[in-house]
Structure 1
Amino acid sequence: MTAAADLILYNGDVHVLTDTATPADPAHSAVAIRDGRIVGLSNDYDAAFRADTGTREVDLGGRVVVPGFVDAHTHLAVLGKHGVHADLRGADSPAAATARLAERARETDAGWVLGFGYDDSQWSAALSTADLDAVSEARPVAAIREDMHTATVNGVALAEHGDEMPAADVGEDGRIVEDAVEAVYDATDPDLAGTRPLIEAAQREANERGVTAVHEMVRDSHAPRVYRELDAAGELSVRVRLNYWADHLDAVLETGLVTNHGGGMVTVGGIKTYTDGSLGGRTAKLSEPYADAPGETGQWVVDPSALAALVERADDAGLQVVAHAIGDAAVDAVLDAYEDAGERRHRIEHAELASDDAIERMADLGVVASVQPNFLKWAGSGGLYADRLGTARREASNRFADMLDAGVDVAFGSDCMPLAPLVGVHHAVTAPADAQRLSVTAALRAYTSGGARAGCREDEQGVIREGALADLTVLDASPWEHADAIADEVGVSMTVVDGAVVYDGR
């Protein structure tokens, strides 16, 4: 006798997103779940035979069901800071950002005044020390740009922490980049008690956005302990794959952690490293100068020789390497380092300016392109890429279609800019250049099975089939029917993780 299901979702439009899947499959309207796994994929009539008095049955009202979104690049502890400190997302000018920081200063009476998430690419003026001095001339103030490689600080912050900031990373008007920003992080990182509310706030946002699993980048953080404590208490509602920063490699090796170790909701990913910086801060490493700064080609955060040594150590120890590389020179350096590595499914994070040769090498080496489709918001004719790179390189950025055509494994993530898979899918589907643009199905696959493959779980995650993990996202409208406006017209109605409904917004 077939065991009854714990949960049955019926009257839905279920999309398994296989290579041959059509946008609509009327044979699949119901999903039956037991013990955190999918035990049935069928029509409503057949699904009803799996119900008994203990089964929860949910009428989806014709809503679209897809595999749960896997966000392959997140910083949830940082995301949580948006809900605790000043949230600068959407601020459209220095004055708007300053007003939010001033409000935060009024809410607190001591210590740093922090704001996170501003994007100044469309501002007519830059945020400056004078702006932040107006917030406070007695307390240190910092506004962190959404790329997390760039910030602006006030005079007090420079006076108290300037000696910890490399002079080369401190620009005019209080704008700082790379290691100078790290000095701010070092001075403001929360303790264990302060980390938990950040993770809980970010987890709620992830659930609301349909995210069922994240590949988390952690450095000098209590977040790994918080994730494990939440898991042990049965309070973790998103799967977490931990990628430890390269400066923790010795500790990772000493404790014997290996990629894919772990159980429950928390597993070990790999070792995260930088190579270069960001386009917004002009620190991404390019082979040709920036269009708006002819003498500059960016900088190495980790130079190629150090990168190669790190990759060799991590690879020999059975650890996947997760390497940030944005500029074309940085992408080439990472591929050089991976040339003789083992088959660990190593990754390049961002890969925004991968050349034709680099894309071919990624396919040949089996390197995963862990990319951010939401970055395409800067790829329009009047956007950040046009300013920094000029037309030709702008149109050759983030070439997701070319990557897939070449046989590269593509995984989508958000970098929490914002944590919103449907926004990323929207930008991939409506990208300005053919080489960037994907079909709705291909974009959804990159945010589901693509992320699962990048995390070595493609056998059970990012798919809808019997035996797979019961991680599902329910959409309130069809993205295929709203392909030109997915971000505006398609939302998340429900999120299921490990067979439990963790968000219900119907």
Structure 2
Amino acid sequence: MEPTLIFINGNIITMKEGLKAEALAVEGDRITALGSRDEIMELANVMTRVIDLEGRTLMPGLIDTHVHVVGYGFSFEAIDLLGIPSLEKLVEKCERHIRENEIPDGTWILGRGFDHNRFEDTKRFPNSSDLNRISEKHPILLLRTCGHIGIANDLALQFAGVDGNTYVRGGSFDKHEDGSPNGVIKEASLEWFKEKMSQSRNVDDLKRAIMIGGRDLSRFGITSVHTEDSYDLGYAGDLEDLYEAYRQLIIEGNLYQRVYQKISLPRIENVRNFLKKDLKSGDGNDYFRIGPVKLWADGTLGGRTAWLIEDYDDASGQKGISVYDDDEMVEIIDLCQKNNLQMCIHSIGDAALEQILDAYEKTGSSLEADNRHRIVHCQIGNHKQYERIGRLGLNINIQPLHTRTDFPLIEYRLGKDRTSKCHAWKSLKEEGVVITGSSDVPCTNDRNAASVFQGISAIVNRDYWLKEEEVSVYDALEMYTTNAAYSAFEEDTKGTIEEGKLADLIILSDDPLSIDKTRIKDINVEMTFLGGRLIYGGMK
């Protein structure tokens, strides 16, 4: 054994119950030995780099199980509308961006992050008339913070061929009173629209976005991502440019995270076309694997497109958007299950959750095989549904920081009774459900939302809302390590510090298991290692 790296004099959190170590050795991209300081130092040679932790904490690299790496990368190039206080300020900022950057006519303008619920001058959605004020010579698309609703100006609508008769199942193009499109694009219609827009992007554009997004995620200690790049590109199965971008980055040594790639296949015909490629979940290597098929059963709470059993409290007669009829949901799940494709379904409303659970029960798929299907978000539900999730063996993927953005809004949308059953993480855990954590960046309203320790803080500090649904700090850490690895069938290579596992490691400023839990949000990641290679921070 000739270790390339040795870590000593620190606090090592192995995330393996009962396993303790004072030091560890890395050879190549694998952890090769754990033991006492003296035992590990005996393995060192002249070429071994010894890292003195000086009392700091070493733990496994973190896994974000729901993120949009390509979209996150492109968001750094888009107009940042996070926290924009009014519609007028939005118009002014976009117009100034075009003018000051001297952007040529005909160039696409992308912005994201606004939340109309926080506007001071109006609570309505912006529309094409507002965006036409910004420019009539540039096609413009602005994405709401959730990423599920977009606003386009007339030129962008014209570019995509949208008129009053354009229809996409599972989505909508809102209209003016005269029947012409007003620029508000929701759910599946937005995915279709983005596909038209993305046709101008090439492999180099995708590589740049992946590197920009990945580099930023590395500063939060994230070494693996379950990413949904196809959604951000509007693709539905034709992913060759995306695959090629990742292939080149792996060869060049410029990939900052290991990738479990979710595949957006919103319709049964998309699944059938994908199956012709003879790919299944788990195919790939240590850097890139095919992940689950991604579906959306509904939309978002903020946009009132989450599908509810009962009306919205603040909008009588509205229950949100249902993307599928019951038979199609069953048909897609059954086809994926028969072809070794893991499933990952977006559900925010309780009606969407009910449809998903009914579909799994009809197919029987989750009861018959270790497929580790997952539900993303699972924000609104009830305890009977949570019991069914546990019985079906489904995993749940949560976004802890969404509780803080939902908190001012959710009771207004749902009323007290439904609100009291939302984001019920402890209840789900008590049903035996495997829960994983994630950020969903850039579908957030905070540029630091990818911070796992801010997410963990939101899990373990719920004084502001439903404190009874708090779980322990260790349970929260599992959501980003052992549980996350398990959800991708990667528990043999990731999630814990053990001999033979990948040397994806992070050094922290503080020990999350010993400091006051109110300070967890302030923990800094000082170094991030991917396969023993330093990708963030500096050596002392």
TM-score of the superposition, structure 2-length normalised?
0.86
Select 1:312's aligned residue among 326, 329, 334: 334
Looking at structure 2, the residues matched to 52 and 97 of structure 1 have their Cα atoms a distance apart, in angstroms, of 59
Secondary structure of 1:128's partner?
A: coil
Select 1:30's aligned residue among 16, 19, 23: 23
1:119 CA displacement:
3.7
1:427 CA displacement:
1.2
1:491 CA displacement:
1.6
Q: What is the letter of the counterpart of residue 493 of structure 1?
A: E
Indicate how the Cα distance of structure 1 residues 11 and 92 shifts in structure 2: closer, same or farther if over 3 A, else same. Answer: farther
Superposition pairs of residues 260-409 of structure 1, within 5 angstroms: 260-339=282-361, 340-341=364-365, 342-343=368-369, 344-380=371-407, 383-409=408-434
Secondary structure of 2:246's partner?
A: helix
Residue of structure 1 equivalent to 2:206: 195
Looking at structure 2, the residues matched to 146 and 479 of structure 1 have their Cα atoms a distance apart, in angstroms, of 30
Greater CA drift, 153-162 or 225-234? 153-162
Residue of structure 2 equivalent to 1:88: 81
Looking at structure 2, the residues matched to 498 and 99 of structure 1 have their Cα atoms a distance apart, in angstroms, of 46
- Please tell me whether residue 427 in structure 1 is matched to residue 461 in structure 2: no
Q: What is the letter of the counterpart of residue 302 of structure 2?
A: G
Residue of structure 2 equivalent to 1:500: 533
Runs of 5+ in structure 1 lacking a partner? Answer: 22-26
CA contact (8 A) 2:461 2:467 kept: no
Greater CA drift, 336-345 or 283-292? 336-345
Secondary structure of 1:193's partner?
A: helix
Select 1:443's aligned residue among 456, 464, 476: 476
The Cα offsets for residues 296-333 of structure 1, whole Å up to 9 and x where unpaired, read as: 11111122211110000010001111111111111121
Looking at structure 1, the residues matched to 414 and 155 of structure 2 have their Cα atoms a distance apart, in angstroms, of 34
Q: What is the letter of the counterpart of residue 374 of structure 1?
A: L
Secondary structure of 1:50's partner?
A: coil
Secondary structure of 2:450's partner?
A: coil
1:60 CA displacement:
2.4
Q: What is the letter of the counterpart of residue 195 of structure 2?
A: D
1:444 CA displacement:
1.1
1:159 CA displacement:
5.2
Indicate how the Cα distance of structure 1 residues 257 and 79 shifts in structure 2: closer, same or farther if over 3 A, else same. Answer: same
CA contact (8 A) 1:323 1:348 kept: yes
Secondary structure of 2:536's partner?
A: strand
Looking at structure 2, the residues matched to 505 and 415 of structure 1 have their Cα atoms a distance apart, in angstroms, of 28
Looking at structure 1, the residues matched to 420 and 95 of structure 2 have their Cα atoms a distance apart, in angstroms, of 39
Indicate how the Cα distance of structure 1 residues 505 and 338 shifts in structure 2: closer, same or farther if over 3 A, else same. Answer: farther
Select 2:501's aligned residue among 458, 468, 472: 468
1:181 CA displacement:
2.1
Select 1:169's aligned residue among 162, 170, 173: 173
Residue of structure 2 equivalent to 1:491: 524
Looking at structure 2, the residues matched to 412 and 245 of structure 1 have their Cα atoms a distance apart, in angstroms, of 20
Select 1:223's aligned residue among 242, 248, 269: 242
Select 1:214's aligned residue among 225, 230, 233: 225
The Cα offsets for residues 100-133 of structure 1, whole Å up to 9 and x where unpaired, read as: 4234323221322111233444333345235433
1:285 CA displacement:
0.9
Over the residues paired in the alignment, what is the CA RMSD in angstroms?
2.3
Residue of structure 1 equivalent to 2:4: 6
TM-score of the superposition, structure 1-length normalised?
0.91
Secondary structure of 1:80's partner?
A: helix
The Cα offsets for residues 421-468 of structure 1, whole Å up to 9 and x where unpaired, read as: 222112111222134322221111101111111111122211112222
Residue of structure 1 equivalent to 2:112: 116
CA contact (8 A) 2:84 2:119 kept: no
Aligned residue-pair number: 496
- Please tell me whether residue 182 in structure 1 is matched to residue 191 in structure 2: yes
Percent identity among equivalent residues? 29
Secondary structure of 2:134's partner?
A: coil
1:252 CA displacement:
2.9
Residue of structure 2 equivalent to 1:24: none
Superposition pairs of residues 35-46 of structure 1, within 5 angstroms: 35-46=28-39
1:165 CA displacement:
6.0
Looking at structure 1, the residues matched to 82 and 538 of structure 2 have their Cα atoms a distance apart, in angstroms, of 23
Indicate how the Cα distance of structure 1 residues 9 and 97 shifts in structure 2: closer, same or farther if over 3 A, else same. Answer: farther
Greater CA drift, 221-230 or 116-125? 116-125
CA contact (8 A) 2:173 2:183 kept: no
Looking at structure 2, the residues matched to 257 and 226 of structure 1 have their Cα atoms a distance apart, in angstroms, of 18
Looking at structure 1, the residues matched to 506 and 324 of structure 2 have their Cα atoms a distance apart, in angstroms, of 38
Runs of 5+ in structure 2 lacking a partner? Answer: 177-181
- Please tell me whether residue 245 in structure 1 is matched to residue 264 in structure 2: yes
Greater CA drift, 103-112 or 61-70? 103-112
Indicate how the Cα distance of structure 1 residues 85 and 378 shifts in structure 2: closer, same or farther if over 3 A, else same. Answer: closer
Looking at structure 1, the residues matched to 504 and 70 of structure 2 have their Cα atoms a distance apart, in angstroms, of 22
Secondary structure of 1:459's partner?
A: coil
1:45 CA displacement:
3.1
1:99 CA displacement:
4.5
Indicate how the Cα distance of structure 1 residues 143 and 469 shifts in structure 2: closer, same or farther if over 3 A, else same. Answer: same
Greater CA drift, 248-257 or 173-182? 173-182
Looking at structure 1, the residues matched to 117 and 57 of structure 2 have their Cα atoms a distance apart, in angstroms, of 35
